[in-house]
Amino acid sequence: MVAWSGCAATELKRINFCYRRAMAEPVELPTERLAPLDPPPALRRLREEGPVCRLRFSDGQIGWLVLGYSLGRALLVDSRFSVGEIVQPLGDPEVVAEIDRIERSMPEHKGVLIALDPPQHTRIRRSAASYFTVRAVAEREEAIERIVAGRLDAMEEAGAPVDLMTAFALPLSSFSICEVLGVPHADRERFERPSAVLVDPGADADAKRAALVDFADYCREVVARKREAPGEDLLSDLIVADELGEDEIVGLARQLFEAGHETTATMLTLSVFTLLSERSRWDALRADPEAIGAAVEELMRYLSILQMGTFSRTATEDVDLGDLVVEQGEKVVVSIPSVNRDPEKFADPDVLDLGRNAAGHLGFGHGKHMCIGQHLARWELKVAIRGLLERFPDLDLAVPVEEIPFFGGEHLLYGVEKLPVKWQAR
Amino acid sequence: MKVVADLDVCIGAGVCVLTAPKVFDQGADDGLVRVIVETVPSGEERLAREAVDLCPSGALEIVDED
Ligand code: HEM
Ligand code: SF4
């Protein structure tokens, strides 16, 4: 009797809980922030009510928003969820749907990792994995250092103030992906432009369609160039290995160009802002450059720049994850800013503690789609921050914090558009 | 303590190498995990456990708990 009531009570509580969640009024993804570096307070309120809530996607369909850390991890490793048919919490639903439809009709789509499920995903991801291992990236350290030094020289030459985004962060991350894919740095325009249009919430379907075509043309051209004259790079090796089809290689190239530069540039610029806006943080790293690695990890957790969360996942069958019961066909998004501030995982989650062990944060995602470029991004961030600390120890914001333009809202990322910085010429 | 890796599951994310570099490596040709120790040295057990826990694909498992 006692055992029965204990067990049933828990079960009832759970059913009751799930029922309440299911019946609750769906929310729209909150984006309004009170402080530039803290996620919208509404996210926290929702998380305090439970690890998941009903979410209204921008096309009106109702799905789920995961707010709790352990549920987020459990969901992202669950193979009963597919990445098929992406919907977004925010943004013009017609544009989102139209672009998703066009993308899926393009032959290169076969190589776009984030839109593929196994077994295609596994095959393509593995063909590229050896270029992004911890060791492969470490072997590029010199190349990254050279790129960083080049940008620092250019900044010095230009003289203060400069916009750290355009003078440093963006070229640095674009050049790094150029190195991996083996294209000349001068090509950056060709992939930066279409990528920027594709993520711009203000761009209409026509502009995005044109960007998709431009982007595919560019990637096709790069692959053709490599076929003519192979080098020592990922694309050449993929062509020589002849395990992936042409369209798959082109799509993978597009995905790497696209996912590899704006994210890192946004993260770097926002990180520098975070360090400079409270000088003691900058000075602490200056005094102890060894601490930069751990600091980068904590910044990834704290800043969680993928403000809209992961891409949507669709349940391929009814799934019971305890706190969350999803029906087949329903869509779920994991809020990265929320799970990374979950007090059940991280003590004092709203405190930026550069010395803490932030391992396990979901800033690079989790599961089979976990960021393939994570080690490259870490190296870029580390080498870049170290370079700035060494070259411009007195680096400072060149305008008051109130004048720094933050973006977020319907954008996939949260960051600063521009970061004017200054230093004393030596 | 021993760790085994399922290469059919591993996606080569390298979180294990980042976490416990004395226990894990990634193959230069395929990027997939290699457990580089027969038994996990006692000083590395905590990190190895953390790596098993953090692995995004669930490819790692602790066997032979002692
Ligand atoms: C700080 C910078 C970066 C952040 C915050 C970031 C974040 C993420 C996240 C959260 C995901 C998973 C999305 C999901 O599951 O829905 C992801 C996937 C991905 N990222 Fe990154 N990323 C960064 C840098 C890079 C770089 C430098 C590259 C390329 C070299 C890259 C390439 C990719 C690719 C290709 C995927 C899809 C992987 C798959 O589906 O298997 N990212 N990234
Ligand atoms: S962390 Fe897991 S998925 Fe990544 S390389 Fe190691 S075993 Fe493979």
Distance of CA A264 to the CA centre of its chain: 8
Max Cα separation, chain A? 81
Please tell me which residue of chain A has the smallest CA distance to B54: A360
Range of the domain at B12: 2-63
Tell me the per-residue pLDDT of A266-318, one tens digit each, with 9 for 90 and over. Answer: 999 999 999 999 999 999 999 999 999 999 999 999 999 999 999 999 999 99
Task: Tell me: pLDDT of A400 over 90.
Answer: yes
Got the DSSP string for A1-44? -HHHHHHHHHHHHHHHHHHHHHHSPPBPPP---SSTTS--HHHH
User: pLDDT-based confidence at A380, cuts 50/70/90?
Assistant: very high
Instruction: For A331, list phi and psi in degrees, rounded to 5.
Output: -110, 145
Q: Which amino acid is at A214?
A: D
Report yes or no on A4 lying in a domain.
no
**Residue A75: closest C-alpha in chain B:** B56
Phi and psi of A419, rounded to 5°?
A: -135, 90
Cβ count within 10 A of residue A332:
26
- Identify whether A5 is part of a domain: no
What is the complex's ipTM, to 2 decimals? 0.90
Radius of gyration, CA atoms only, chain A: 22
pLDDT at position A269, please?
98
Q: Which amino acid is at B26?
A: Q
Cβ <8 Å between B57 and A368: yes
- Looking up residue B6, the CATH number of its domain turns out to be 3.30.70.20
Report residue A221 CA to chain centroid gap. 27
User: How far apart, in whole angstroms, are the C-alpha atoms of residue B14 and residue B17?
Assistant: 5
- Measure B59 CA to ligand 2 centroid, in angstroms: 6
CA A305/CA A39 separation, integer angstroms: 10
* Mean local confidence (pLDDT), A139-153: 96
- For residue A72, tell me if it sits in a domain: yes
What pLDDT was estimated at residue A7? 54
Q: Is B32 on the interface with A (CB under 8 A)?
A: yes
Share of chain A above pLDDT 70, in %: 95
Whether the CB of B53 is below 8 Å from some CB of chain A: the reply is yes
Strands A62-66 and A52-56: antiparallel
- Mutation target among B6, B17, B24, B26 for the A interface, most CBs of A within 10 A: B26
- B13 to chain A: which residues are within 8 Å by CB? 370-372, 374
Is pLDDT above 80 for A426? no
Contact list, B54 vs chain A (CB under 8 Å) = 359-360
Of A76, A133, A374, the CB nearest to B31: A133
In this model, does residue A2 exceed pLDDT 50?
no
List, for residues A202-228, the tens digit of each pLDDT value: 899 999 999 999 999 999 999 999 999
Residues A67, A366 contacting (CB under 8 angstroms): no
Domain count, chain A: 1
Residue A129 is nearest to which of B11, B15, B56, comparing CB atoms?
B11
A381 to chain B nearest CA, in Å? 15
**Pairing mode, if any, of strands A325-326 and A319-320?**
antiparallel
Residues spanned by the domain of A38: 13-422
Q: Is the pLDDT of residue A5 over 90?
A: no
Please state, for a pLDDT cut of 90, what percent of chain A lies above it: 88
CATH of the domain at A272: 1.10.630.10
Judged against a pLDDT cut of 50, whether residue A230 lies above it is answered with yes
Whole-number Cα distances in Å, A294 to A354, A381, B13, B50, B52: 7, 11, 19, 16, 20
| Record: contact A134-B18, CB cut-off 8 A | yes
Which residue has 């591993």 as its token pair?
B10
